[in-house]
Each structure stands twice: as C-alpha cells, then as structure tokens.
Amino acid sequence: MKEINTEIEINASAEKVWQLLTDFAAYPQWNPFIRSVNGKPESNAKLQIFVQPSGSRGMKFSPTILKAEPQKELRWLGSLFVRGLFEGEHIFNIEPVAEEKVKFVQREQFSGLLVPLFWRSLDTDTRRGFNEMNVALKERAENAKAS
C-alpha cells in the first residue's frame, strides 16, 4: 500500500470548508484537480468524477462514498477495472484548530497489483493536484468569508 498525504491550514470554519468541499456542482468554477463530480455527498452514494492534475491527462472513475460526516470527513473508494488491480481510498479530513481555523487534510491510500506501475506519476502528478486543490479551497474559503 502507498499513500499520498497533504495538508493546509484554512482560516475559515469547519462548516464553511465542508460546504465548499461538498458543493460538487461548483467544482468546475474553482477546483484545479477534481474538475467535476456528479452525485451526492452521502454514504453509499455512487459518484462520477473527472480528475486532471495540471499538466497531465484526465481520468474518469466512479467511486462509492464510504463516509460523509458533516464538517469532519468525506471518504470514497474507487477502483480501476476490477477490484484488486488498483484501488484508491480518497480521504478529506477537516480538523478544527481554532474557532475560525481548520487543518484540511487530503490523502489517498492506494492498493492493488498495479500500484507500483503507476506510483511515480501518482507521487508527482497526483500529489501536485492535491496541493493545488488544497490551495484553491483555502483561497475560496477565506475569500468567501471576507465577502
């Protein structure tokens, strides 16, 4: 198993960050990594997702939400082709630091036979996409707070 783990502090409430994170319809307006999501942020819901890290080719997949705990955690599991070949469990955590400040953690745990084949691009392109999304979420949350 391999994991990518990124985090950023956001000067906004957990409620605000959760609202932005789960407003899937707005992703095309601000998200430079997860370009589109169709579905509802509810446990057991099936999503249609298109991701495209900057400078890379995009990919569509259909994960299932494992957990949607408002203001705390959103987690989904997707697989490529058939289970066991390549799976990714994507986790977003919102951890309060102060009343109007959170630590946003975005990570993904990869498993399956094909992970070694894809690891180099995951560790560079996907990690870059996570960081770009984190910064964009921070800017959107902090600017929304000011308006």
CB-based burial of residue 42 (10 Å sphere; 0-12 exposed, 13-18 middle, 19+ buried)? Answer: exposed
Residue with tokens 């579905």: 39
Could you tell me which of 88, 104, 122, 117 has the C-alpha nearest to residue 18? Answer: 104
Predicted TM-score of the model (pTM): 0.93
Q: Where are the beta strands (DSSP E) in the chain?
A: 2-10, 34-38, 48-51, 59-61, 64-69, 73-79, 87-98, 101-111
Taken in order of first residue, the domains within the chain and their CATH numbers are 2-146 (3.30.530.20)
pLDDT tens digits along 71-128: 999 999 998 877 788 999 999 999 999 989 999 999 999 999 989 888 888 889 999 9
| 17 to 71, 109, 139, 145: CA distances (angstroms) | 7, 22, 11, 10
Cβ-proximal residues to 62 (8 Å cutoff; 6+ apart), any chain: 46, 47, 48, 49, 78
pLDDT tens digits along 53-66: 988 888 899 999 99
